[in-house]
């Protein structure tokens, strides 16, 4: 294994569980808050964000991208009218 430490933030995807994890800091997690269904913010002892976990990540990301693209397309269509 390499001695080179990975830079943060770091994104890990766990295919078997369909979980996407964004690691912002390697500090210990003291608390977590569900910010929306399937999305959890991980906090350190000072209440600062140190990570984000997304369950059912493939569906969440797909839906998020589709909503964003559809919204932009609607705005383009409306501005052309």
Handedness of CA 34, 35, 40, 44 (dihedral sign): negative
Q: What's the pTM? A: 0.75
pLDDT tens digit sequence for 46-76: 999 999 999 999 999 999 899 989 888 887 7
Separation between Cα atoms, residue 76 and residue 66, nearest integer Å: 15
**Residue 1: its pLDDT value, please?**
44
Instruction: Read off the pLDDT of residues 1-29 as tens digits, 9 standing for 90 and up.
Output: 445 556 889 999 999 999 999 999 999 99
Rounded Cα–Cα distance for residues 81 and 77 (Å): 7
Question: What 8-state DSSP symbol labels residue 2?
Answer: -
From the list 24, 32, 22, 27, the residue with the least C-alpha distance to 8 is: 24
Q: What is the pLDDT of residue 6?
A: 65
> Would residue 47 be called left, alpha or beta, if left means φ above 0 and alpha means ψ between -120 and 50 degrees?
left
Looking at every residue in the chain, the average pLDDT score rounds to 89
């Amino acid at each position: 294994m390499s001695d080179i430490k990975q830079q943060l933030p770091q994104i890990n995807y766990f295919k078997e569980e369909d979980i996407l994890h964004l690691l912002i800091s390697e500090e210990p997690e003291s608390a977590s808050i569900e910010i929306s269904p399937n999305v959890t913010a991980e906090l350190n002892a000072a209440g600062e964000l140190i990570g984000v976990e997304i369950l059912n990540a493939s569906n969440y990301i797909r839906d998020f991208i589709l909503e964003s693209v559809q919204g932009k397309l609607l705005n383009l269509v409306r501005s052309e009218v």
